[in-house]
Structure 1
Amino acid sequence: MADSNIDEIGPWSEVKLDIIREYAQAYSQILSAQKEPRLYHIYIDAFAGAGVHLSRATKEFVPGSPLNALNVSPPFAEYHFIDIDQARVDSLQQVAQQRQNVFVHEGDCNQVLLGKVFPRVQYKDYRRGFCWLDPYGLHLDWKVIYTAGQMKSVEIFLNFPIMDMNMNVLKHDPESVPSEQAERMTRFWGDGSWKSAAYSTTGNLFGYEEKLDNETVTKAFRERLLGVAGFKHVSKPLAMRNSRGAVVYYLFFASPKPVALRIVKDIFKKHEKNL
């Protein structure tokens, strides 16, 4: 595995990996134990990376989410790892170790999820999916999130990339936002309503648009996950902060099941003291 394929990650990302690992473990235990009807459960990692990371703090290797998922016991019935980078895909093939129930996909996850993976997780077929959406920035299509919500068989963890948004889209002067950046935001958000979620003309004397805070933006997106995508249960987002205290991204969880949200709330509470 070439070192150039391995991302160096900060402590906040190590916490994120722990959260995903702990929930995947709980999810697989619960679904494996169900007998009437027996369910077939699938793990999906849309931005899988190389399968391993380098800790910025310790300079030691840290198992990535694909490797953590493969170590869950009882195991998932099936695994899907997706990455757009050929070198990372080659590394994932090594992580998979030729296991027949592990599928490694090279390509844009938006196309792979909708065309190849989600069709394998149909509710009517007693199949269920745990999908980890960890984009590096605004690289996710709302249609993926919407489809997962409508399927009623898929739960998601979602990296909400607020730093990318703030750096490139949600500028204090909305007129200065380049059109290509606004288009990226619209693709992620699903429509142009992000503008009214992020800006307001109230509270000032002159009627000009003012940028709203992160909490207001994430609250509006949570309402979209519930009201538009159709997830029945959505967590309040967990702020993932870097060593300087700045929010890098927010971690959302969305599910059709109330028990799933209760488990995630407990996991979030356990880890938020480390952020």
Structure 2
Amino acid sequence: MKHSFGGEWTQEKLERISEYLIHYKIALKNQPFKLVYIDAFAGTGYINQKEDNFQPFLPEFAEEEVKEFIDGSTRIALQLENPFDTYIFIEKDKERVFELSKLKLEFPELADKIFPVKREANEYIQSLCEKDWLKSNRRAVMFLDPYGMQVKWETIEAIANTKAIDLWLLFPLGVAVNRLLRNDGQISPKIKQRLDDMFGTSEWQEFFFREDPQQDLFDQTPRLVKSVNLTGIAEYFNNRLNAMFEKVANNPLRLMNSRNNPLYLLCFASGNPKGAEPAVRIAQHILKEKK
């Protein structure tokens, strides 16, 4: 079974991640660290886009011009010339975890380094981050690649607190967040809670909405209207990351579909005080839009 998800924007995302992993391994090759690659929502290791049984919940996923087959982020990490010491692939779907376990057969020289984990990603990452990463001399690159709004802010906070992890994160800018921020401000309590969980605060409401200037003077109930665009949402989230991590890339990349509509925001953040400066410098170069 091959995991069907994404379009040309998916390949662009994976190319950027691959480039960073190469630079990361080169930069730390003479350091005594144990290096870990962590991939949450890891899928199956493959993405097959022609034999697509995935029914998109949004039309942006119905790409016709995408390539038939590409490697997923798990396989890209395993194909590095200089491998990591440990690979942790997190998936809660039993069938996908089974497929991930087959990577041990495909990469026998790395079999003892590959650890597929059947757990809910937020729970497992938070428990993993409770370890003393600095004391154990471990460093990691983590890729959070959810379909939508599954990543909770407390998970991001736990990652930042390790001071040892470089984080690549796919933020659901266009596919979820912007759509849920209704122009009339009428957002259900359930959706508000999901947004609170993702942003780690309810203050987003103050940034994204304002009182309607056209409101009737006789209407005693304040009426809100949306006052933010995609750029504002992206800036808000990146500022939230910046408040937690040592340093973040100031140019997160919008990933677009074939109709030039924004789907996701590819973000980078580094938590290590000593390594953040060069890490972000490399990431910002990689995130520059290609001409």
Asked whether the two chains share a fold, i.e. TM above 0.5, the reply is yes
- Secondary structure of the 1:239 match is strand
Query: Aligned pair 1:213/2:229, yes or no?
Result: yes
Letter in 2 for 1:249: Y
**Amino-acid identity (%):** 30
Q: 1:73 aligns with which of 59, 65, 81?
A: 81
Contact 2:148–2:176 (CA<8 Å) still a contact in 1?
yes
Whole-Å separation in 2 of the counterparts to 1:242 and 1:28:
31
- Secondary structure of the 1:123 match is coil
Query: Aligned pair 1:95/2:103, yes or no?
Result: yes
Tell me what 1:230 maps to. 245
Range with greater deviation from structure 2 (53-62 or 103-112): 53-62
Tell me what 2:39 maps to. 45
Query: Aligned pair 1:193/2:190, yes or no?
Result: no
Correspondence list, 1:112-261, <5 A:
112-115=124-127, 117-119=128-130, 122-162=133-173, 163-167=175-179, 169-175=180-186, 177-201=187-211, 204=213, 206=215, 208-211=223-226, 212-227=228-243, 229-256=244-271, 257-261=276-280
Q: CA deviation at 1:121?
A: 6.3
Tell me what 1:107 maps to. 119
Q: CA deviation at 1:59?
A: 4.7
Whole-Å separation in 1 of the counterparts to 2:22 and 2:132:
19
Letter in 2 for 1:60: E
Q: CA deviation at 1:58?
A: 5.4
Contact 1:11–1:55 (CA<8 Å) still a contact in 2?
no
Whole-Å separation in 2 of the counterparts to 1:7 and 1:222:
28
Q: Residue deviations 1:116-143, cap 9 Å, x none?
A: x334561122111101011111101111
Contact 1:225–1:231 (CA<8 Å) still a contact in 2?
no
Range with greater deviation from structure 2 (95-104 or 229-238): 229-238
RMSD in angstroms over aligned alpha carbons? Answer: 1.9
- Equivalent residues, number: 261
Provide closer, same or farther for how the CA distance between residues 159 and 54 of structure 1 changes in structure 2, counting only shifts above 3 A: same
Contact 1:9–1:54 (CA<8 Å) still a contact in 2?
no
Contact 2:211–2:223 (CA<8 Å) still a contact in 1?
yes
Contact 2:251–2:287 (CA<8 Å) still a contact in 1?
no
Letter in 2 for 1:73: E
Contact 1:121–1:128 (CA<8 Å) still a contact in 2?
no
Contact 1:44–1:79 (CA<8 Å) still a contact in 2?
yes
Q: CA deviation at 1:231?
A: 3.1
Whole-Å separation in 1 of the counterparts to 2:160 and 2:251:
17
Letter in 1 for 2:47: H
Letter in 1 for 2:17: I
Contact 1:7–1:54 (CA<8 Å) still a contact in 2?
yes
Letter in 1 for 2:116: V
Structure 2 runs not aligned, ≥5 long: 51-64, 216-221
- Secondary structure of the 2:265 match is strand
Tell me what 1:265 maps to. 284
Contact 2:7–2:66 (CA<8 Å) still a contact in 1?
no
Whole-Å separation in 2 of the counterparts to 1:124 and 1:29:
23
Letter in 1 for 2:290: K
Contact 1:45–1:82 (CA<8 Å) still a contact in 2?
yes
Whole-Å separation in 2 of the counterparts to 1:128 and 1:181:
35
- Secondary structure of the 1:196 match is helix
Range with greater deviation from structure 2 (193-202 or 61-70): 193-202
Whole-Å separation in 2 of the counterparts to 1:121 and 1:86:
29
- Secondary structure of the 1:32 match is coil
Alignment TM-score, normalising by the size of structure 2: 0.84
Structure 1 runs not aligned, ≥5 long: none
Correspondence list, 1:17-56, <5 A:
17-34=14-31, 38-55=32-49
Letter in 1 for 2:231: E
Whole-Å separation in 2 of the counterparts to 1:96 and 1:196:
49
Letter in 2 for 1:221: F
The structure whose Rg is larger is 2
Q: CA deviation at 1:234?
A: 3.4
Whole-Å separation in 1 of the counterparts to 2:66 and 2:12:
14
Provide closer, same or farther for how the CA distance between residues 172 and 22 of structure 1 changes in structure 2, counting only shifts above 3 A: same
Q: CA deviation at 1:233?
A: 3.0
